[in-house]
Structure formats: structure tokens, C-alpha cells
Amino acid sequence: MPQTPNHGYNVPNEGAQDWHVPLNDNFEQYDTDIEIRDTAANRSNYDPKQGAKFLATDTGRVSVGDGSNWQGQLAQSRYTAPSASGAAGNLVAGHANNSVGSGASAATIAGGGTSSNPNEVTGVSSTVGGGSGNEASGDHATVAGGEGNSATAANAFAAGTNATADHEGAFIWSDTSSGGLSSLNENEFAVSAAGGVFFFSNSGATTGVELASGSGSWSSASSRALKSNVDRVETGDVLDRVVDLDISTWNYDAEDEDVRHMGPMAEDFAAAFGLGDDEAKISTVDADGVAFAAIQGLVAALDDADETIEDQQDRIDELEAENDALEARLAAVEEKLGLDGTADHAVTADD
């Protein structure tokens, strides 16, 4: 008995008397080979035969029969065609329970999802890259992956674990160390990284800045092993330049005028010290270095002043000793002359 090349269905031999037998076998196979299509509410109307497939035409979810019940399964990518109103189609991959809301268009779920924690997109041009339990409901919002993340505002981004981007343009990354992280302002960049944050500025990942775990300040790469052309500075000269540097209080144009900062202008700093690679910016490494050098220069100046004061005190002590000696000699002379040194002697005729 021949079979069809693609599906392996039985084909009656020409002139066979029992031609209906292979056809009946084919009909039995149709229940598992051909997908049942109906709305989700009508799924119970069909027999969940082992291996049978049911596609809910209203939700796009696929179920597979196990002989007793319909079970969800990982679905292949499915595409929702553009609507008559002109809304663009949507692409959904991953678990069969992943879904696209009625208000979505040109939206994408790239994968992931589970039966209990599916991914969902409901915004226009919104995207979930993978993971599970993620939601992108803001227009043009993105959840890159992870678990339990939501990007509910337009152009928002969330990723990691339990990150919530509820403000337009917010970028939120949340690690697994806490219960999650939520946006507080529009267009903010917020990161929860209990293991520390590192930014490297070279291909070898040796130069950059670090916010160490638990720290409240940045550390700059400054090891001797990373430096070349090391020259000592004349700290007294640095101190003189610092003294001549104009220091002001000010606010950035982008800030409220009530916010105040203190420091020199970058152009003046560059002219005074020739440091950094941009005269419109002051590197914190350079500012710290100038401060250290100026402090050393000031200490040296104070040491010189102390030495001068000590020399002057020694001279004062010498002069006081000389003065004491002169006073003693004067007192001796007066004593020999019979003068008490306190009053003039009157001259009489009897003298």
C-alpha cells in the first residue's frame, strides 16, 4: 500500500476492493495531524486525544491533548496579522501562554514564559525579549528578559528581577539581592547591583571606575602598575598656582539656581596646571592630585615658617640674655659709685 510522500497517509492501490480501509486509517490520523481551531471557550467541546493540537483563535495559545485533558505547551512563533483598522501585526514566541493584549500592535514576545508566569505585551511596538512573568504595557517599552519585570510607561526599559519602570523614559535594572527596584522619576537611570558597579574605558578592562559593593563613592583606577611617565611635582609651585586660582560658587545651567557648587572653572584649571584631556572638564583624579600637592606645599611652607620662627626666638633669647648681662653690669657700676639707681643726688655746701 503506497503512502503520501509528505504526511505518510495510506493510499488505496488501483483497483483495490478494500479501498475504504486505508482511507479510514487516514481519518483516524487526522485527529493528531490536523490542528483544531476554535475559540478558547469552545476547547472543552473537543476530545483531548493523545497528541491532538488545539489552537485558540482568539488568544493564539496552543494546547496539546494528553488523552484526558488539554495541556499548554511551548508554542512556535505565531503572528497576528494586521487588523482591518490598520493596526500592525504582532509576533509571539515562547510558551503557549504568552499573550498579546488587544491594544497591542507591532509588538513582540521573543521567547520565554511558563504556564504559570507567561510573558505579556499590550503596548504599541512594545517588546519582551524573554524570561518569565514579564510585561511590557507602555508604548515602545522594553523588558529585556529576567523575571517579574514590567515596563508600564512609554519608552521605558526594565530587566533583571522585579524591575519596574513606571515612568516615561526610565531605565531600571534590578539584581536578585532584594525585592526589586522601581523608577521614581521620568528619564532616570537606576541600577540595583549589590555586587558593585564597574565601568571600564579600555579594551583590557584595567582602566575605569568602580562603585564597590556597599560603597557610597566611586573609586578610580590608580595603581602604579597602570601608570607611565611618572614625574614628581614641585609642591610649592602647585600651592602658588592654587592660591592664584579663582574659586567660585555656582550652579549648572541645567540645575535649579538654588543648587550650589564650589570650585574653579575648568578652563582656568587647565591653564594653571595643564592636566586632563579636555579643558572644559576637570577630572576628579587631577583635582585630588592638585589638592594633595597643594597640601604638601602648604605643609612645607609652614615647616619653613616654623623654622624661621624658631630662629627668631633663639635670637630673641640671645638678645634678652645680652640685655640681662648689661643690666647687671650697670647695676654693679652704680653700686661702686654709691648710687642706688633710683634718684638723683643733691649737691650741698657741706659736700
Q: Would you say residue 54 has pLDDT above 50?
A: yes
Backbone angles phi and psi of 108, in degrees to 5: -140, 135
Check residue 74 and give its pLDDT. 47
Question: What is the pTM assigned to this prediction?
Answer: 0.68
For 158-213, what is each residue's pLDDT tens digit?
999 999 999 999 999 999 998 999 999 999 999 999 999 999 999 999 999 999 99
Residue type, 270: A
Provide the angle, in degrees to the nearest 10, between the axes of the packed helices 266-273 and 235-244: 150
- Whole-number pLDDT of residue 9: 72
Q: Which residue has the higher pLDDT, 80 or 301?
A: 301
For residues 224-229, average pLDDT? 96
Residues with Cβ within 8 Å of 339's Cβ and at least 6 positions away in sequence, in order, are 345
Domain ranges of the chain: 20-197, 231-351
Mean pLDDT confidence for 71-77: 60
Task: Classify each residue of 212-247 as buried b or exposed e, where b means 16 or more C-beta atoms within 10 Å of its C-beta.
Answer: eeeeeeeeebeeeeeeeeeeeeebbebbebbeebee
217, 209 Cβ separation under 8 angstroms: no
Q: Which strand (E) or helix (H) includes residue 267? A: helix 266-273
Strands (E), 144-302: 150-151, 157-160, 163-165, 171-174, 181-182, 189-192, 197-200, 208-211, 219-220, 248-250, 261-263
- pLDDT over 90, % of the chain: 67
Q: What's phi and psi for 279, nearest 5 deg?
A: -70, -5
pLDDT-derived band at 33 (thresholds 50, 70, 90) equals confident
Nearest residue to 160 via CA among 142, 173, 141: 173
In Å, what is the CA distance from 222 to each residue of 133, 195, 206, 282? 43, 21, 10, 16
Q: How far apart are CA 150 and CA 236, in angstroms?
A: 58
The pLDDT > 70 percentage for the chain reads 88
Scanning the structure block, which residue is given the C-alpha cell 504559570? Answer: 116
The chain-wide mean pLDDT, for the chain, equals 89
Q: Give tens-digit pLDDT for 307-321.
A: 999 999 999 999 999
Read off the C-alpha cell for 316. Answer: 630673641
* Alpha carbons 109 and 121: distance in angstroms, whole number: 7
Say if residues 66 and 48 touch (Cβ distance below 8 Å).
yes
